[in-house]
Amino acid sequence: MEKFDVVVIGGSAAGLTAAITSRRHYPEKKVLVIRKEDQVLIPCGIPYIFGTLGGCQMNLIPDSALEKNKIEWLVDEVTGIHPEKQTVTTAGGKEIGYERLVIATGSVPMVPPLPGVDKKGIYAIKKDIAHLEELQAALAKASHLLIVGCGFIGVELAEECRKLGDLDIKIVEMLRHCLQLTYDVEFSVKAEDVLRAQNIEILTGEKVEGFLGGKAVEKVRLASGRDLDVDVVIMGIGARASTALAVDAGLETGPTRGIQVNRYMQTSAPHIFACGDCAEKVSFFDGKPSALKLASIATMEARIAGSNLFGARRANMGVIGVYSTILGDTAFCAAGLTETGAKDKGFDIVVGEAEAVNRHPGSMGGGKLLKVKLIFEAGTRVLLGGQVSGAKSAGELINAISACIHQRMTADDIATFQTGTHPGLTASPIAYQLVNAAEIAIANSWKLSSRWKRPA
């Protein structure tokens, strides 16, 4: 039996990052990554293999990241974790010992048990090259595509599949708007307008009741009674934590059925850590369970787990949730709580919005409108969330907003912090959207507080 100081199960975003982090913090330790896949897909790039990238081979995490950091890896499937012996066993018949174990087994797509869901032509988005190549081949012959779910997977797949040519594309969403769990209504409506301009039909407030046909799917029946012709159906309604190994090993799971971890990413077995989609999460805002699953969260947790393996160095403060996508040439980004989400958590809020061209003067080349919306707790004016749409620079600006949320900055902090601006890169310092949204929120808070005052 071979023994390693650190064994990581899983080679995607969380597993790779945990291994690299452990190497950086404990350079003397011997580190092994065990993964099922010979080649590992970049998770966030999967929608783009159907259009922009052209195939799975253009969307791979290179093994050079392991080689560069002197991390060993084994392509095999872990079939058992044995905490009492501190070993794992694999499908290939190996038994491997560890001092510290990191479980980064990710998640699997959710597929509801609807009638006919097992018919040919219905696909979930699995992180598996052969499966995705089969889907790609099916799309090449299809005339009618239906996507179930209008979240990020749904909208990005719809737009990428539009690049395949004359394909009838419909998205079915049970909520009133696409991307509704991430954005406030005005941002969701703008995203819907961009998609509809590309001849993508969005059916909101609809539910799928079942799939009809012979061995292959031919129609989808909706709760409204409408039947839709389909050749291919893509299920994009979310994912659940992959925890079978952990459960079989006797590790505790949490309220959202992820592997229970503490703030240091330790499981109920102190020498075993978990991170990424398989791990239980809590909200940054109220400490309650959160079902968020994002690559950015996975790598954050992996950097905490990897650094804490042989002594606590970092703590997880909870998940904020930072999102970015681009539809057409318009970016849609969000961090933290929406207005609805903040109210649902019991916050009294005040909002500030600002929109300006991201150049100054506006006649500078490459200028595009950029809108910022900030949501603050009314009493303290602490930032709870932000949304940005418009220019591609929104993708980096939302990361700055996330940093402001993480540091619990107030509207006054944001309104008075020093920004770097340039005519060819940003809005004018006079019209800088982030600062002005904070200033407007402050003005709105004064109006709100004046309404609270009782008459003399």
CATH numeric code, 111-237: 3.50.50.60
CB 170 within 8 A of CB 146: yes
- Is CATH 3.40.50.300 the right assignment for the domain spanning 2-108+240-308? no
Identify the band that residue 188 occupies on the pLDDT scale cut at 50, 70 and 90.
Answer: very high
The predicted-structure confidence for 29-42, as pLDDT tens digits, reads as follows 999 999 999 999 99
* CB burial string 182-200: b at 16+ within 10 A, e below: bbbeebbebbbebbeeeeb
CB 253 within 8 A of CB 259: yes
pLDDT surpassing 80 at residue 452 = no
Angle between helices 13-25 and 295-308 (to 10 degrees): 30
Fold: same for 111-237 and 322-452 = no
Of the chain, the percentage scoring pLDDT greater than 70 comes to: 98
pLDDT of residue 454: 46
The predicted-structure confidence for 205-239, as pLDDT tens digits, reads as follows 999 999 999 999 999 999 999 999 999 999 999 99
pLDDT surpassing 80 at residue 449 = no
pLDDT surpassing 90 at residue 407 = yes
pLDDT surpassing 50 at residue 85 = yes
Identify the band that residue 450 occupies on the pLDDT scale cut at 50, 70 and 90.
Answer: low
Strand partners of residue 222 = 208
Identify the band that residue 431 occupies on the pLDDT scale cut at 50, 70 and 90.
Answer: very high
In whole angstroms, what is the distance from residue 67 CA to residue 64 CA?
5
- Is CATH 3.20.20.100 the right assignment for the domain spanning 322-452? no
The predicted-structure confidence for 326-344, as pLDDT tens digits, reads as follows 999 999 999 999 999 999 9
Domain boundaries, the chain: 2-108+240-308, 111-237, 322-452
pLDDT surpassing 50 at residue 199 = yes
Its pTM stands at: 0.95
Q: State which H helix or E strand residue 244 sits in.
A: helix 244-248
10 Å Cβ neighbour count for 4?
19
Strand partners of residue 120 = 216
Q: Tokens standing for 342? A: 């903040």
Q: What is the mean pLDDT of the chain?
A: 96
The whole-number average pLDDT for the span 345-355 is 97
The whole-number average pLDDT for the span 364-383 is 96
In whole angstroms, what is the distance from residue 148 CA to residue 154 CA?
7
The whole-number average pLDDT for the span 160-189 is 96
22: helix, strand or coil: helix
Half-sphere exposure of 322 (CA within 13 A, CB side): 22
pLDDT of residue 439: 97
CA of residue 9 relative to chain centroid, distance? 21
The predicted-structure confidence for 106-143, as pLDDT tens digits, reads as follows 999 999 999 999 999 999 999 999 999 999 999 999 99
Identify the band that residue 453 occupies on the pLDDT scale cut at 50, 70 and 90.
Answer: low
The whole-number average pLDDT for the span 68-87 is 98
pLDDT surpassing 70 at residue 425 = yes
In whole angstroms, what is the distance from residue 142 CA to residue 230 CA?
8
The predicted-structure confidence for 274-306, as pLDDT tens digits, reads as follows 999 999 999 999 999 999 999 999 999 999 999
